[in-house]
Amino acid sequence: MKTHALLVIGLLLFVPIAMAQPFLYWSMPVPDDLQCQSTYSTQQQFIADREVVRAGESCTDTARVVVFECKFNDCSNLEETTYGYKVRGVAPEFRGFVSGNKYVYKCATCPEDTFTQPTQPLPPGTCDGCQQTSSCPIVVREGETVNIRWISSDPDSDIGPQGRLTYAYEGTVGADGTWVTQKGDAGIHYAKARVYDGEYWDETDLCIEVLRVNEPARLNLATNDVYVREGDVANIDATCSDPDGDSTTLSFSGWMNSPAKQTTYFDAGVHDVLVSCLDPSNQGITQTVRIHVEDVNQKPELAITDRNITVSEGEPVYIGATCIDPDGDKTTITYTGWMDSNTKTATNKDAGLQETTVTCEDGKGGIDSKTVTVNVINVNHPAVLDVPAEVTVHETETVIVEAHCSDPDGDPTSISYGGWMSTSSKQTGYDDAGDYDVTVSCVDPAGQGQTKLVSVHVLNKNRPPQITWEQV
């Protein structure tokens, strides 16, 4: 008598593909009411040497293992990436490490009986490539290939009435035992195989869980180098999208914490900004954008203490000027016009409004100029008389008093004589021998000037004798 046909299933799994950021890809299910310690008992820094790392060897036999990324390989700046559980001494494996980068894992001790109770699996297909959630014997991630081998046999040598076995297949895996999963296949899938000998048949069912593979968010930068001038707004043109349609987070850190920044006149140089585009699983990309800020020269600022100055002729003039350069450049102050420096004494020819231009330069093309007006008030200066103190002549000679009258202001002058003479000259006779005083006065139109006394000495001159006759 023929026996019922027997079909045996053999299963072959392939190695999962790499991801871009560490995540747990296998772990024992954990209870909802898990009560692990809230503080970490152990911390260990390590450098990844491959894409898959088993972390938590230093933890207690039952512990929560939390993995942190050392941002920019600086382990004083940690960012939590994922976590798993060490179960009865077996540490969890994580995937997506970047070889050569630094990481830290921390341990939180859990109760010894944490993993002894049965747990409720998560809904199939919802796990983001992190752990098996069903009892299916085959678990793969989207994009991986399922490879199995169908094995059948018949206990009868004549193989039933039809003398041979025939097969039928349903579901995702056919006769070749191969199924190449695709994006979007996440979930539980079934395959069925049936064998028939002409009288009896046998069949077997197979379930396959396909775990969803998260596609990291994608960052699109218009450029990695932004060029602006001091005083302009620096803008980073960045967009963040997710192939899975998940929400994304676009963030900026470093010199800028937003996509736009108003530069100042102290920002010249090259500045780095980290632009991160992440999905809800913190998977994505971070790129550096360099902001090149060109130095812009600021013109110096000139300050004048008093731009309208009033002095009298003969008084000193002082211009109080200071120049400050916002960039800290060395400055030079020059004076042109009525003054060529910051000080000058007004002369008796400067009466009126006099202008001086004060200029400040920073040597880089920056200039600030201001005009200073000086009102010089006219001060009258008396006329000046130049005359000899004495004049000596002999009788019958002409006395001449040479007097010179001048005015420092250039005003017209007048000379007058008084005393023994009323003009600048006088003819003497034989009876004029003696000493005489002459007053000479020199004045300007304001009647201001000098008066001097001149002594005139007329010396006696012998006269010849005379002889004549008369008739007696």
**Do residue 307 and residue 274 come from a single domain?**
no
The reported pLDDT for the residue numbered 111 is 82
CA distance 262 to 265: 10
Q: What is the largest CA-CA distance in the chain?
A: 229
**Do residue 34 and residue 105 come from a single domain?**
yes
> Which band of pLDDT confidence, cut at 50, 70 and 90, is reported for residue 468?
confident
Query: Residue 472: is its pLDDT beyond 90?
Result: no
Give domain status of residue 177, yes or no.
Answer: no
Q: What one-character DSSP code corresponds to residue 450?
A: E
The reported pLDDT for the residue numbered 128 is 38
Tokens of 400: 């001449």
Query: Residue 12: is its pLDDT beyond 50?
Result: no
Q: What one-character DSSP code corresponds to residue 90?
A: B
Query: Residue 156: is its pLDDT beyond 90?
Result: no
> Which band of pLDDT confidence, cut at 50, 70 and 90, is reported for residue 41?
confident
DSSP letters of 249-290? EEEEEES-SSSEEE--TT--EEEEEEEEEE-TTS-EEEEEEE
The reported pLDDT for the residue numbered 20 is 34
Encode pLDDT of 291-338 as tens digits: 999 999 999 999 999 999 999 988 999 999 999 998 888 999 999 999
Distance from the first to the final alpha carbon of the chain = 229
The structural domain count of the chain equals 4
> Which band of pLDDT confidence, cut at 50, 70 and 90, is reported for residue 153?
confident
| Residue from 54, 58, 15, 13 nearest 40 by CA | 58
Of how many residues is the chain composed? 472
Domain boundary among 316, 351, 377: 377
| Residue from 51, 47, 66 nearest 98 by CA | 51
Give domain status of residue 51, yes or no.
Answer: yes
**Do residue 371 and residue 388 come from a single domain?**
no
Q: Which of 50-64, 108-122, 151-165, 295-309 has the lowest mean pLDDT?
A: 108-122
**In the block, residue with structure tokens 């020269």:** 297
Query: Residue 284: is its pLDDT beyond 60?
Result: yes
Tokens of 133: 């959630």
The reported pLDDT for the residue numbered 122 is 34
Give domain status of residue 5, yes or no.
Answer: no
Please, which residues bridge with residue 8 across strands?
151
Tokens of 64: 């929560």
CA distance 50 to 22: 11
**Do residue 327 and residue 290 come from a single domain?**
no
**Do residue 319 and residue 348 come from a single domain?**
yes
Of residues 15 and 33, more confidence is placed in 33
**Do residue 335 and residue 283 come from a single domain?**
no
| Residue from 151, 139, 142, 147 nearest 178 by CA | 147
Give the range of the structural domain holding residue 330, as residue numbers without chain letter.
301-377
Give domain status of residue 229, yes or no.
Answer: yes
The reported pLDDT for the residue numbered 341 is 95
Please, which residues bridge with residue 418 across strands?
439
Query: Residue 126: is its pLDDT beyond 50?
Result: no
The reported pLDDT for the residue numbered 107 is 92
Domain boundary among 236, 264, 294: 294
Own/partner pairs, 163-170, CB within 8 angstroms, 24+ separation: 163/198, 164/197, 165/5, 165/195, 165/196, 165/197, 166/195, 166/196, 167/193, 167/194, 167/195, 167/196, 168/193, 168/194, 168/196, 169/193, 169/194, 170/194
**Do residue 284 and residue 308 come from a single domain?**
no
Give domain status of residue 328, yes or no.
Answer: yes
Here the CATH number for the domain that contains residue 271 is 2.60.40.1080
Here the CATH number for the domain that contains residue 324 is 2.60.40.10
Reduced to 3 states (helix: H, G, I; strand: E, B; else coil), residue 351 is: coil
**Do residue 275 and residue 234 come from a single domain?**
yes
The mean per-residue pLDDT over the stretch 120-146 comes to 61
Tokens of 274: 């980290």
The mean per-residue pLDDT over the stretch 251-257 comes to 95
Please, which residues bridge with residue 168 across strands?
194
Domain boundary among 362, 377, 392: 377
The mean per-residue pLDDT over the stretch 442-448 comes to 91
Reduced to 3 states (helix: H, G, I; strand: E, B; else coil), residue 472 is: coil
The reported pLDDT for the residue numbered 36 is 83
Burial 223-251 (b: 16+ CB within 10 A, else e): eeebebebeeebebebebebebebebebe
The reported pLDDT for the residue numbered 124 is 36
Query: Residue 19: is its pLDDT beyond 50?
Result: no
Query: Residue 192: is its pLDDT beyond 60?
Result: yes
Query: Residue 231: is its pLDDT beyond 50?
Result: yes
The reported pLDDT for the residue numbered 436 is 94
Reduced to 3 states (helix: H, G, I; strand: E, B; else coil), residue 366 is: coil
State what percent of residues in the chain have pLDDT above 90: 47
Encode pLDDT of 71-95 as tens digits: 988 888 999 888 888 876 777 778 7
Of residues 236 and 37, more confidence is placed in 236
State what percent of residues in the chain have pLDDT above 70: 88
The reported pLDDT for the residue numbered 135 is 66
Encode pLDDT of 359-400 as tens digits: 999 998 899 999 999 999 988 889 899 999 999 999 999 999
**Percentages helix, strand, coil for the chain, rounded to the nearest 5?**
0, 50, 50
Give domain status of residue 22, yes or no.
Answer: no
Give domain status of residue 466, yes or no.
Answer: no
In contact, 407 and 381? CB cutoff 8 Å = yes
Residues in Cβ contact with 155 at an 8 Å cutoff, skipping those fewer than 6 apart: 2, 3, 6
**Do residue 426 and residue 441 come from a single domain?**
yes
